[in-house]
Amino acid sequence: MTDIDLRAATEADFEALLDLRMRALRPHLERLGRYDPVRGRERFRRGFSSEHTRLIVADGTAVGCVSLKPIPGGLEIEHFYLEPALHGRGIGSEVLRRLLAEADTAGLPVTIGVLKQSPAARFYRRQGFNPSHEGPFDDYFVRAPGPASAAR
């Protein structure tokens, strides 16, 4: 079993996380004809908040990141990236389980945007997310608060 920890990110993590983002998204963005490293850097810079971003650490090594930000009426997951070689090993599922437990405890819904035609959409549907709306390049999903919030 992989030991998974979530640690606060810092501004000093930005470049390494940007590199991870570009590696993780490149095949999907190229498929859509949308790969542009300059635009990718600008978008990540605009959305990066060390206050809300956590490093995903597996067996002592940083292998990804995720951001859980407050939005009006709920929380939003952004910048959920994991080293591509580690996909399918349960790390992302465990991280998401922890984030959703936080949201459930707070009684808040969670939203996420997923690049169109991304296999990640299936992952989020399996975790209880339902389609919300579509944008020009992303599909959006929402998950209502779960049982932990009902006990509040």
151 band by pLDDT with thresholds 50, 70 and 90: very low
Q: Tell me, what's the pLDDT at 152?
A: 41
What is the residue-averaged pLDDT of the chain? 90
Q: What is the pLDDT of residues 117-146, one digit of tens each?
A: 888 899 999 999 999 999 888 899 999 998
Q: Tell me, what's the pLDDT at 33?
A: 78
Q: Tell me, what's the pLDDT at 1?
A: 55
Query: How far, in Å, CA of 129 to CA of 57, rounded?
Result: 25
Q: Tell me, what's the pLDDT at 150?
A: 46
Closest CA to 99 of 117, 124, 121, 122: 124
Write out the residue range of the structural domain in which residue 62 sits: 4-150
Residue with tokens 């067996």, as numbered in its chain? 59
Region of poorest pLDDT, from 31-35, 36-40, 68-72, 92-96: 31-35
Which amino acid, one-letter code, is at 102? E
Contacts of residue 20, Cβ cutoff 8 Å, sequence gap at least 6: 64, 65, 81, 83
Give the global pTM. Answer: 0.87
Residues above pLDDT 90, as percent of the chain = 69
Which amino acid, one-letter code, is at 47? G
Asked whether residue 86 carries a pLDDT value surpassing 50, the answer given is yes
Q: Phi and psi at residue 75, in whole multiples of 5°?
A: -130, 155
For the domain that residue 76 is a member of, what is the CATH number? 3.40.630.30
The tally of domains found in the chain comes to 1
Report the relative pairing of strands 74-82 and 110-115 from DSSP bridges: parallel
